[in-house]
């Protein structure tokens, strides 16, 4: 079976869906998970959470690297990794220092396998924008970049809103969207908000699946203190790498608003024939997604 080499860049520890996506990647037989890098506030605690999930899934060999904490130019919006409090002796894990080892790991790994690696980003894009600034040749050395981020399409009479991963570091997002990646796929709120499961069903299905999802179920209890459900934003982006038929896409070039204070972080699609467009998820078969997700994690 051919495997897809993937690096995961994540802000695991805030919204629970990052952990749900990591559990999927660990169980996906077609995924060669080359490593995990963390981003935003308390990245060392986010790395510990990733370590606990990898251990629960029997995947201690997956490299985990601490990344960048502050955004480029805006005030930090995401300073705490709230789900870290779920870690205990029940969920063995490694602890990490704040030393940023992610950028060197990303650079060395991508350069070692030119044209092979899919970079999956499910958090703010600070690490990746810094990486592309330090080494401008790297974007072209990827096979693809798949991100959970943005919102691109509005219905009549409806205003676009800025999505969290983009608004947390809009300047980083703008840098990434302007980079010469061979293929960039963006999975935004247009489709992810249609993939929702209530807390009780999540508890039941995560527990039944076991493995890495057993640790995620414990972390999810912290999330459920403030939310009655999980929206599978990040797992959908991960699944789309292996099952592209789950979403229909539209081609457009994305521009990130950095000028207007009231719309900073908005992701605006521009339809042009002059520049290689991005692929923007526009519609999703949510039932097919859930069927696929739980078929993978239940194996």
- Active-site residue (options: 171, 226, 229, 233): 233
- Separation CA 192–CA 182 (nearest Å): 24
Query: What does the alpha-carbon distance between residue 66 and residue 88 come to, in Å, rounded to a whole number?
Result: 20
Distance between CA 233 and CA 195 in Å, rounded?
A: 7
| 3-state helix, strand and coil shares in percent for the chain, rounded to the nearest 5 | 40, 20, 40
CA distance 37 to 103: 9
C-alpha 96: how far from chain center = 21
Q: How big is the CA angle at 202 (ends 123 and 90), to the nearest 5 degrees?
A: 80
| CA-based end-to-end distance of the chain | 16
Characterise 127 by phi-psi region: left (phi > 0), alpha (psi -120 to 50), beta (else). alpha
Active site annotation includes 233 = yes
CB 74 within 8 A of CB 169: yes
CA–CA distance, 161 with 165 (Å, rounded to integer): 12
Residues involved in catalysis: 233
């Amino acid at each position: 079976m051919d495997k897809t080499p993937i690096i995961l860049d994540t802000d695991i520890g805030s919204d629970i869906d990052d952990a749900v996506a990591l559990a999927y990647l660990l169980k996906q037989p077609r995924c060669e998970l080359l490593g995990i890098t963390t981003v935003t506030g308390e990245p060392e605690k986010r790395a510990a959470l990733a370590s606990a999930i990898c251990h629960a899934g029997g995947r201690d060999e997956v490299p985990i690297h601490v990344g960048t904490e502050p955004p480029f130019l805006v005030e930090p919006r995401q300073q705490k990794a709230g789900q870290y409090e779920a870690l205990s002796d029940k969920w063995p894990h490694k602890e990490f220092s704040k030393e940023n080892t992610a950028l060197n790991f990303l650079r060395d790994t991508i350069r070692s396998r030119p044209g092979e690696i899919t970079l999956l980003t499910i958090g703010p894009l600070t690490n990746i924008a810094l990486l592309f600034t330090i080494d401008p040749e790297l974007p072209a050395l990827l096979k693809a970049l798949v991100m959970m981020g943005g919102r691109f399409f509005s219905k009549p009479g409806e205003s676009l809103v800025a999505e969290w991963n983009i608004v947390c570091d809009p300047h980083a997002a703008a840098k990434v969207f302007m980079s010469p990646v061979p293929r960039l796929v963006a999975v935004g709120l247009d489709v992810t908000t249609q993939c929702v499961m209530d807390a009780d069903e999540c508890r039941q299905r995560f527990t039944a699946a076991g493995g890495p999802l057993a640790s995620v179920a414990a972390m999810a209890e912290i999330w459920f203190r403030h939310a009655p459900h999980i929206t599978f934003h990040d797992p959908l982006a991960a699944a789309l790498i292996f099952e592209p038929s789950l979403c229909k896409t539209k081609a457009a070039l994305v521009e990130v608003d950095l000028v207007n204070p009231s719309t900073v972080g908005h992701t605006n699609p521009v339809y042009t024939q002059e520049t290689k467009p991005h692929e923007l998820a526009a519609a999703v078969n949510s039932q097919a997604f859930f069927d696929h997700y739980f078929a993978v994690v239940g194996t």
